[in-house]
């Protein structure tokens, strides 16, 4: 069985999900939808992806650019089993009506409110919850990173309290109109929405999050303090838990990775995806256990971390794999993410 997939919205997330779908043995990328031509539309055409006009888009600019258009999003949705909506925040909710009318299933991104879909999703955490569902919301990059870490921790060592500071990148690398250039902006929502969002996946998790925005484009960094009820024996045991789980990359001191600049350099050298780091990134010397208390940093690549989750969500919705482990294994092998 091959699931026919459309991607609506071809920006940071959409272009990556489209590439990822195209690599799956059990899926077929039917087309992608975009409102305006751009170098990214040019790349899509060069790769042989069929382009459709989404939302308020006009044909004329695509003609001028010499990029063929196969139809409108309304045409595309008739050809597919599921659409991955990667439109800008809040537009997904608008699009939902179209998908419903077309009678197709839909995946939304974390920028939409949880009630846009039947379930919020993270592959490691609640794969089964999405099985057979018609609408699924893949949680945002930060929530995905926290949920993966929660999967490792909560299944092994009960947590009394988790406090995370989300140090957020202010813009994506290709966004040249967003600041600040020099300064730190607190997020005046205390605690921040990330904690409640993690609880759409782990309803009982005693986590509180706070956020600041800083002038960088590469990755978010989570500064975590976890107090366990029953702690790991030592940091090594904790590290082993992360290391044995898919979608974690632990850097050793000899690798010389001082922070996010070197993590992304590693990603560039590795060449997975669009120079992506789809794993949660931790450091061996960035995990410490002190009695009941654990401290750890993790870096989250906002552009790509949700990409494998979108793929697994499709597999769960259409019952294409016996369980999460099987789906994750296929996704990661095809995308080039090393197995644990």
Q: Which residues are catalytic?
A: 141
The values of phi and psi at residue 134, to 5°, are -95, -30
Q: x/- binding map, residues 150-169, to a copy of itself, per CB under 8 A?
A: -------------x-x-x-x
184 binds a copy of itself (CB under 8 A): yes
The one segment of 49-57, 94-102, 115-123, 251-259 that binds a copy of itself by CB under 8 A: 251-259
Name the residue among 20, 71, 36 with its Cα closest to residue 50. 71
Question: Considering only residues 177, 291, 322, 339, which one is a binding residue for a copy of itself as defined by CB under 8 A?
Answer: 177
Asked whether 201 and 122 are in contact (CB, 8 A), the reply is yes
| Interaction pattern, residues 26-55, with a copy of itself; x per rule: CB under 8 A | ----------xxxxx-xx------------
CB of 296 to a copy of itself, least distance (A): 8
Q: Considering the rule CB under 8 A, would residue 23 count as an interface residue with a copy of itself?
A: no
CB of 64 to a copy of itself, least distance (A): 6
Residue 109's nearest CA partner among 13, 40, 192 is 13
191 forms part of the interface with a copy of itself (CB under 8 A): yes
Question: Can you tell me which of 70, 93, 259, 292 binds a copy of itself, judged by CB under 8 A?
Answer: 259
Least Å distance, CB 97 to a copy of itself, is 29
- Return the H-helix or E-strand segment holding 94: helix 91-102
The residues in 55-74 that bind a copy of itself, with binding defined as CB under 8 A, are 61, 64-65
Q: Assess whether the previous peptide bond of 72 is cis (omega < 30° from 0).
A: no
What is the spatial distance between Cα 258 and Cα 266, in angstroms, rounded to a whole number?
A: 12
Q: In the beta sheet, which residues pair with residue 35?
A: none
Cα four-point dihedral sign 59, 61, 63, 69: negative
């Amino acid at each position: 069985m091959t699931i026919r997939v459309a991607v609506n919205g071809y920006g940071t997330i959409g272009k990556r999900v489209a590439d990822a779908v195209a690599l799956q043995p059990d899926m077929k990328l039917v087309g992608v939808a975009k409102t305006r031509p751009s170098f990214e539309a040019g790349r899509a055409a060069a790769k042989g992806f069929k382009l459709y006009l989404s939302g308020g888009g006009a044909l004329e600019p695509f003609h001028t650019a010499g990029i063929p258009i196969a139809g409108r999003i309304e045409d595309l949705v008739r050809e597919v089993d599921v659409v991955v909506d990667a439109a800008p925040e809040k537009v997904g909710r608008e699009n939902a009506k179209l998908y419903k009318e077309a009678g197709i299933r839909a995946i939304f991104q974390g920028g939409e409110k949880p009630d846009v879909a039947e379930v919020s999703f993270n592959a490691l955490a609640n794969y089964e919850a999405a099985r057979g569902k018609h609408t699924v919301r893949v949680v945002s990059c930060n929530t995905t990173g926290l949920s993966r870490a929660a999967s490792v921790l909560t299944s092994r060592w009960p947590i009394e309290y988790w406090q995370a500071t989300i140090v957020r990148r202010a813009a994506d690398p290709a966004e040249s109109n967003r600041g600040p250039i020099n300064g730190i902006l607190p997020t005046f929502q205390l605690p921040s929405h990330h904690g409640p969002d993690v609880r759409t996946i782990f309803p009982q998790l005693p986590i509180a999050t706070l956020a600041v925005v800083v002038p960088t484009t590469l990755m978010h960094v989570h500064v975590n303090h976890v107090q366990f009820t029953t702690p790991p024996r030592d940091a090594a045991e904790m590290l082993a838990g992360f290391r044995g789980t898919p979608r974690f990359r632990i850097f050793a001191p000899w690798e010389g990775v001082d922070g996010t600049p070197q993590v992304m350099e590693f990603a560039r050298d590795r060449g997975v995806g669009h120079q992506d780091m789809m794993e949660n990134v931790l450091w061996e010397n960035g995990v410490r256990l002190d009695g009941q208390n654990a401290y750890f940093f993790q870096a989250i690549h906002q552009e790509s971390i949700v990409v494998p989750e979108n793929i697994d969500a499709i597999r769960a919705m259409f019952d294409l794999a016996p369980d999460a482990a099987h789906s994750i294994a296929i996704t990661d092998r095809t995308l080039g993410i090393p197995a644990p």
